[in-house]
Amino acid sequence: MNPLDILYGAAGVWLAAGLTGLLAGSWRLGLRACCALSALAGAAAAAAGGWSLVYGNTRVVAPGPPTIVGGPLQLQMTSLAGVFVAVLGIAAVAIALYAPRYHEPSRGSAVYLAAYHLALLACLAVLAAGGMVTFLVAWETMSLACYLLILRHLRSDETARGAFWFLALSEIGFLLVVAAFVILSAKTHATELDLMAARGHLVPGGWRAAAYLLALAGFGFKAGLVPLHVWLPEAHPVAPADGSAFLSGVVVKLGTYGIALFAFRLVPLAGSWPGLVTMGAGAVSAAIGILYALRERDLKRFLAYSTIENTGIIVTAFGAAMVFHAYRLPALSAFLLIAGLYHVANHGCYKTLLFLEAGVVEHATGTRDMDRLGGLVHRLPRSTVITFVGTLGIAALPPLNGFVSEWLIFQGLFQGFRTGSHLAAILIVLAAATLGLTGGLAIYAFVRGFGIPYLGMPRTPQAAAAREPGQPVAGPALLAVACVALAVGAPVMLAALSRTARTVTGTSLGPLLLPGKLTVIPAHADFSAFSPTYLAVFLVAACAVPVLIYLAGRPRAASVSVPVWDGGMVSFRPRMQYSAMTFSAPTRVTFDALYRPSVSVRRASDDDPAGRSGPVHYEAQVTPVFERYLYRPVVRAVEWLADAIRPLQSGDVNLYLLYVFLVILLAYLLGAV
Amino acid sequence: MPLWFIRGLRRGVVTTRYPARPDDSAARLPTPPAFRPGQLTREVADRLVAVCPGPALSRRDDTLVFDVGACTGCGRCAEAAPDAVASSGEFELATTSRSVLIKEIPIRGDEP
Amino acid sequence: MTTQAAAIRGTVTTRVPAADLEKVTADLAKAPGTRLADMFASDGGITVLRLVWARESGYLVTETEIEGGQYPALSDIAPAAFVEECEIYEQFGIRPATGKPLNRLMLPPHAGPDFPRLGHAPAQPPQEVHAPHTVGGQAFEFPFGPVRQVGVESLYYGLVTSGEEVVDVYLFTWHKHRGVEWRLRGTTPRQAMFFAERAEGLSAVAVGWAFAAAAEAALGVAPPPAADRTRAVALELERLYNHAAAMAALCQATGLTVGQSAAEIALERLLRVNAAAFGHRYLFGVIEPGGTARAPDVAVLRRELPAAYGELRRAADALLRTNSFVDRLEACGILTAEHARRLGLVGPVARATGLTVDARRDGPYAAHPVTVVTADGGDVFARFQVMLGEAAESVRLIGEFLDAGTAAERTALPAKGNGEPGSGSGLGWAESSRGEVLAWVALDENGRITRARLRPGSVRNWRGFDDACRSQNVFTDIPIIEASFWLTAAGLAR
Amino acid sequence: MNPSLDEAEAARRLRDTIAAQFGRSLHIRTLDTGSCAVCEQEIRLLSAPHYDLHRLGFFFTPAPRHADLLLVTGPMVRAFEVAARKTYEAMPGPKVVVATGACALGGVYPKDPFVHGDVGQVLPVDVWIPGCPPSPLALLHGLGVAVGRLAEKTPGLTFIADGGQG
């Protein structure tokens, strides 16, 4: 009995769920049955993942016949994948609880459920792949399944466009990953991952570097590393809520898994530069991701950019871990790996939560535009509370989980001076500073992302008409609980992760990390210490004290309640409250070098000699730098190439016969040689 | 700032000591009129009522009713009947009851 | 067009047929050195529209009888007429022949058709169509007022802002409408003076003088020269204390408390000089139709004014040497001469853009000419410099007037107007610290007012305020700009 | 004519409360209900060096929520009535309303469709300060009376110049 066996069960149930969905998903009952199975399997997968953290790697097994592309189906459960499997499981449970209320039973929903469970299986297979063929097949299957996922609501060509962005970039990434694997297997004469890792020393340094960089770029497309990120803000808004939750919570994480897989398992790299490159890419992604998030009005585009930020943070941690490894600091390396994996778990929880709640908001109001929302706290109280928990988490505010992992990452990066190399130290500190900026901006962004839609007055009738009954609650609530658990239960989580780190890197820092029951000493014995548990408890207590004091000393006199002081105005209108774009105007002014905003002001008074004022139209557009200066040229080149080779496809039979003849001739000549 | 600091020191204190001590700048303020009942005849009273731009003055048969609160201290009454009206010189007129601001001036002047 | 020369103090009144009004207005608007100073209507059975044009030679009043409740869209020819178009619409119900929206200006939202007006109620009440509302949610409206900071008048601003810079500004001005022009009807000029002074208390002398001059013109009398000089002394004293108050307000807006205290010391001393010289801190009751009610205490003026002005001067010098203060003023709230001309701005605001707009040309000023202080740049700092220059000029003028002699004299007003049609009306003007004040009075044969028009300088200059605030200014500039304009809501709403 | 007893009684009780509640420090919110801008100028001068009302423990506050005393000027324009009531309701009790200047006491504008003509028509006035405008000294005296720190002279005054001998 080992984690893998449980995963077999989970996979089987998911398969059954997918079939149920495909066949019966167009009836409410079938939908519910499918989701029930899915939740069951998710729970199993989560358990398996959690177990494998402490269990270590299982043996590679090759059940069943060779796969369609040849090569056996090789499966293995590693504790590096454990975190990801657990996240996959939890997300699956939450989505399964959420979907029945979100989706109207129809043929579309049936196909969607099938595609979704196919994607689940593919992700599971990627994580449980013991051989490169299995990995690649699963990876490609996942991409295609997610493509179908995004196409669920084919409202406009905007949907098709977003889905196409996803598919195109996934395929490019896939090619790079294939190249990386081919190099490794060619040099090590192995397809099994363990074998590749064992024979890693056979690979010449140059090829190693090439393979790693190819992998970094290839997985970077999935993980959304800047500038390979452009599919996220395009695909997430058009996908259904649970679909985009799955994309952000799980699929994007697989990108980081791939990077970790190459960095820590397959390619033992020499020299610190690959680590520095990885760390730099992560830091840049984090900063640019949050900066673009601040300019978004669409709730889901905003969350998508924040996903870019978070994967950036994770990759930064992995990169720093690689650097420390290169400088013979195994403890620090292992520690940062732990911190990164912790952040993977955290982000998997709260980002899934936030996307699901964004779906609730869209469901209830029919819009995702923050500037058309407002005042939802009175209309959707339960989802407001849940969103608030998720927001605290993602804004990395204590006592929630985001704070724990980001704080650990900072503690690790602050150890940069121990590398002994000035360059590395400076670069690591720079990365830390960038993450600091990112953290600050993230708080700013999520004050905005929570305050504008949920607080204040409703800006539109639709927002005012939002109602809670019928909205899904259980799924996001589960994730909220998970967020709290990840914060309060940090020591447990860290203990488990230190086992993982020992399995992956062979360094054990359990006693160093957790001297007491609840106290964590991150990074280094004499640097810092804190206890997330006590922190959470005492923060809550600290909030309770003033409340108690108030309740104790409440004035006995009858209190009068009067309306808000509005300066004696005639009437206070919704247009008089801070809007999402005005709230983030200061960043637009500060970072205009990045945004290159184009401001257009049109006043009724401008074209009127008498200077009457009247309707004012004020728009500030941000230049999409990457789309315009990076991707558009590529697209143009491809189109040009397509035009260039069109004459070959003339449609003339004789011409085709000529081609056939030439090919045969060529083959004959080659055979003759 | 040092510039302002030195200016301030050179400038010295200008603040009044009122209400602890009376302030002599009060002497030049416009104040409500005070009447000489001996000089007031009905005819004079009516002239005063007519010349008052506001509702401050009115006559109830043999009393001139003077609403100090409504008086703007414009001085037209003093101008209209200099011998019957003088300046009261009072400026500390604030009160907690509106009614005490309404004064009754007896008309004692003998008709010609 | 038939010109009948009723040239009293440089005023020419002309009848213009409704058919020619558009053409005449266009010609006058294009004529060099001509400026549309005011436009108002009067309603004696038939509505008469009057345009007041300021020229080098004096004022030109065109009278046009309006039938059918419509007249040409004058604000497209002479944009300065826009506010008056709105006012005439809500007071008389006649509107320019244009689809352009007309703002609510003075009558409150609850004012129904039976609300007292100077003429007939408009067909449908004007709305706050001028209130800018943003499209696309990239800017929002920052409501401010009517109950604002401590010790300021009630006024409502809507600031449209993108978070940092001010995109647009608009005002609601009806909170303080007291119907002054309405309640002047049927009173004698002497009674009316009581309200005229209180239309804009901070320029009681200027408004009072303009009103008195209008009444005198209507009755065909002129005040004695000594009384005229007395009025001028009071007017310049008023200018002095207003400029001191504006300086204090500027310091407050820029957060320079020490400077504010210094300016307020000067202000208080100037007010005490007023009280000593004329018996009232704000110079109420000095002017009355036909002359002046009080003469200044010359000895006190000669003794105390230089000291009080010295305070002002020293405070100003210290301010000019305070960079943190000057930096806030420069390039803030810029208005161009083109703006000023187009919107018909007056007073220091216009003179700070380089225009030489000043109503102090005739009467006592004919013998003691004013050197008009101007500046270019049109920003707050330019206005500040203009104010300082004018303060010095005022002190000089007061000296000259005192030498020439002042007295509390008055020319007896004829009890009855000479009820011929066309006469019995007159225009008066004065230059307040906020700019040119105009008054127009029509009397019936009993010498009672049938229509009185009061136009303080504030009415004109608030038009420039929103233009000055728009663009390249951030939130914190607005109090500075408002202080540099130093206008009153009372004068605007009347 | 003497004030009716209950009126005097009420006034006395109010004075005691005020003196007890904010004898040392009192915060003032001003309210312009249609004045001619001169009363505002005088009120601003209260904080000028010549008068400096802070030395007496009075402070201006822009927020009615923090204000104990409402200093009202102007004849209470009807269009402003809502704003005036809102301001008064926004103040926490106990609160004092001081009508300032002839306009606010009904000395300038009669009651008509434009104005109520008298602040007392809308707000419960506790202290009246005559004058057009009331000079800063008069205002200081009025504030002193409002907090029961200064005695009021008016009841004793007759406005009769000489003993009345004819």
Q: What is the residue-wise DSSP string for C233-302? A: HHHHHHHHHHHHHHHHHHHHHTT-HHHHHHHHHHHHHHHHHHHHHHSSTT-TTSEETTEES----HHHHH
Residue C170 and residue C187 share a domain:
no
Nearest-Cα distance to chain A for D86, in Å, is 6
Nearest-Cα distance to chain A for D63, in Å, is 8
CB contact under 8 A, C150 and D61: yes
Q: What is the dihedral of CA C448, C451, C457, C460, to 10 degrees?
A: 180
pLDDT band (50, 70, 90) for residue C8? very low
| Rounded Cα–Cα distance for residues A332 and A314 (Å) | 15
Residue C108, domain member (yes or no) = no
| Rounded Cα–Cα distance for residues B4 and B7 (Å) | 5
Identify the pLDDT of residue A351. Answer: 94
Residue C185 and residue C172 share a domain:
no
Exposed, middle or buried, B110 (CB in 10 Å: 0-12/13-18/19+)? Answer: exposed
Helix A422-454 to helix A273-293 angle, to the nearest 10 degrees? 20
Q: Chains A, C in contact: 3+ Cβ pairs under 8 A?
A: yes
Instruction: Using the CB atoms, write b or e for C450-482: b if 16+ within 10 Å.
Output: bbbbbbbbbbbbbbbbbbbbbeebeeebbbbbb
Identify the pLDDT of residue C5. Answer: 32
Please indicate if any CB of chain A lies within 8 Å of the CB of D87: yes
Residue C336 and residue C459 share a domain:
yes
Contact A611, C100 (CB under 8 A): no
The residue in chain A having the minimum alpha-carbon distance to the alpha carbon of residue C150 is: A567
Please indicate if any CB of chain C lies within 8 Å of the CB of D73: no
CB contact under 8 A, D61 and C264: no
State the residue range of the domain holding B95.
Answer: 23-106
**Mean pLDDT, residues C221-232:** 89
Residue B99, domain member (yes or no) = yes
CB contact under 8 A, A617 and C135: yes
Helix (H) or strand (E) holding A671: helix A653-672
Query: Tokens 């004030």 sit at which residue?
Result: D3
Q: Report residue B85 as tokens.
A: 């009206």
Identify the pLDDT of residue D164. Answer: 43
Contact D74, D30 (CB under 8 A): no
| Rounded Cα–Cα distance for residues B65 and A229 (Å) | 87
Helix (H) or strand (E) holding A620: strand A616-621
Q: Which of D76, D79, D69, D67 is nearest to D127 (CA)?
A: D69
Domain ranges of chain A: 594-604+614-673
Residue C210 and residue C172 share a domain:
no
Residue C115, domain member (yes or no) = no
Query: Which residue type occupies C50?
Result: R
Contact A125, A77 (CB under 8 A): no
Residue C167, domain member (yes or no) = yes
Residue C272 and residue C165 share a domain:
no
Q: What residues in A contact C136, CB-CB < 8 Å?
A: 371, 617-619
Nearest-Cα distance to chain D for C270, in Å, is 12
Q: What is the dihedral of CA A436, A440, A442, A444, to 10 degrees?
A: -170
Nearest-Cα distance to chain D for B46, in Å, is 17
Backbone Cα Rg of chain D: 16
The residue in chain C having the minimum alpha-carbon distance to the alpha carbon of residue B3 is: C318
CB atoms within 10 A of CB C213: 30
* Full pLDDT tens readout for chain D, 166 residues: 344 556 566 656 666 666 666 656 788 999 999 898 999 999 999 999 989 888 888 889 988 988 889 999 999 998 888 899 999 988 887 888 999 999 999 888 988 888 998 898 899 998 999 988 899 999 988 988 888 766 777 777 777 876 444 3
For D94-106, how does the pLDDT look when each residue is reduced to its tens digit (9 = 90+)? Answer: 888 999 999 999 8
Smallest Cβ–Cβ distance between D64 and the set A565, A569, A570 belongs to A565
Please indicate if any CB of chain A lies within 8 Å of the CB of D63: yes
Q: Report residue C393 as tokens.
A: 């000029």
Q: Which of C351, C360, C47, C49 is nearest to C206 (CA)?
A: C360
- CB under 8 Å to C171, separation ≥6 — which residues? C155, C156, C157, C158, C462, C465, C466
Smallest Cβ–Cβ distance between D45 and the set C146, C174, C264 belongs to C264
CB contact under 8 A, B19 and D49: no
DSSP category for residue A456: S
Please indicate if any CB of chain D lies within 8 Å of the CB of A561: no
Average predicted confidence (pLDDT) for chain C: 85
Instruction: Using the CB atoms, write b or e for A570-582: b if 16+ within 10 Å.
Output: beeebbbbbbbbb
Helix A330-365 to helix A252-260 angle, to the nearest 10 degrees? 170
**Mean pLDDT, residues C12-34:** 84
Please check the confidence at residue C368 and state whether its pLDDT lies above 90.
no
Residue C209 and residue C164 share a domain:
no
Identify the pLDDT of residue A318. Answer: 94
Q: What is the largest CA-CA distance in chain C?
A: 66
The residue in chain C having the minimum alpha-carbon distance to the alpha carbon of residue A620 is: C138
Q: Report residue A543 as tokens.
A: 């909030």
Q: Report residue C35 as tokens.
A: 């400026």
Identify the pLDDT of residue C1. Answer: 30
| Rounded Cα–Cα distance for residues A346 and A357 (Å) | 17
CATH number at residue B59: 3.30.70.3270
Selection from B3-7, B108-112, D123-127 with the highest mean pLDDT: D123-127
Identify the pLDDT of residue D21. Answer: 63
| Rounded Cα–Cα distance for residues A60 and C334 (Å) | 77
Q: What residues in D contact B30, CB-CB < 8 Å?
A: 132
Of C74, C96, C118, the last residue of a domain is: C96
Q: What residues in A contact D93, CB-CB < 8 Å?
A: 560
Nearest-Cα distance to chain B for D162, in Å, is 6
Identify the pLDDT of residue C338. Answer: 85
| Rounded Cα–Cα distance for residues A122 and A129 (Å) | 10
| Rounded Cα–Cα distance for residues D61 and D84 (Å) | 16
Nearest-Cα distance to chain C for B64, in Å, is 21
Smallest Cβ–Cβ distance between A565 and the set D63, D80, D82 belongs to D63
| Rounded Cα–Cα distance for residues A256 and A312 (Å) | 9
Domain D29-149 class in CATH: alpha beta
Residue ranges of chain A whose pLDDT lies below 70: 64-71, 155, 510-512, 515-516, 523-525, 555-557, 570, 604-615, 673
For C236-285, how does the pLDDT look when each residue is reduced to its tens digit (9 = 90+)? Answer: 999 999 999 999 999 999 988 889 999 999 999 999 999 999 989 999 98
Strand, coil or helix: what is A562? coil
C434 phi, psi to nearest 5 deg: -100, 0
CB contact under 8 A, D83 and A569: yes
Q: Chains D, C in contact: 3+ Cβ pairs under 8 A?
A: yes
Question: Pick the residue with more confidence: C138 or A456?
Answer: A456
Percent of chain C with pLDDT over 70: 93
The residue in chain C having the minimum alpha-carbon distance to the alpha carbon of residue A608 is: C76
Helix A330-365 to helix A401-413 angle, to the nearest 10 degrees? 150
**Mean pLDDT, residues B81-93:** 86
Nearest-Cα distance to chain D for B30, in Å, is 8
Identify the pLDDT of residue A223. Answer: 92
For chain B, positions 41-60, list CB contacts with chain D under 8 A.
Answer: 54-56
State the residue range of the domain holding C58.
Answer: 2-96
Q: Which of A135, A149, A86 is nearest to A347 (CA)?
A: A86
CB contact under 8 A, A616 and C160: yes
Residue C222 and residue C162 share a domain:
no
Query: What residues pair up with C157 in beta bridges, in sequence order?
Result: C144, C171
The residue in chain D having the minimum alpha-carbon distance to the alpha carbon of residue C111 is: D79
pLDDT band (50, 70, 90) for residue C137? low
Lowest mean pLDDT across A168-172, A419-423, C102-106, C328-332: C102-106
Question: Pick the residue with more confidence: C173 or A87?
Answer: A87
Chains that touch C (3 or more CB pairs under 8 A): A, B, D
Smallest Cβ–Cβ distance between C268 and the set D48, D108, D133 belongs to D48
Residue of D26, D30, D36 to mutate, testing the C interface (most C Cβ within 10 Å of its Cβ): D36
Q: How many domains does chain C have?
A: 3
Nearest-Cα distance to chain C for D3, in Å, is 31
| Rounded Cα–Cα distance for residues C102 and C85 (Å) | 8
| Rounded Cα–Cα distance for residues C359 and C431 (Å) | 5
Distances (CA, A) of A222 to A132, A146, A215, C63, C446: 18, 12, 11, 79, 93
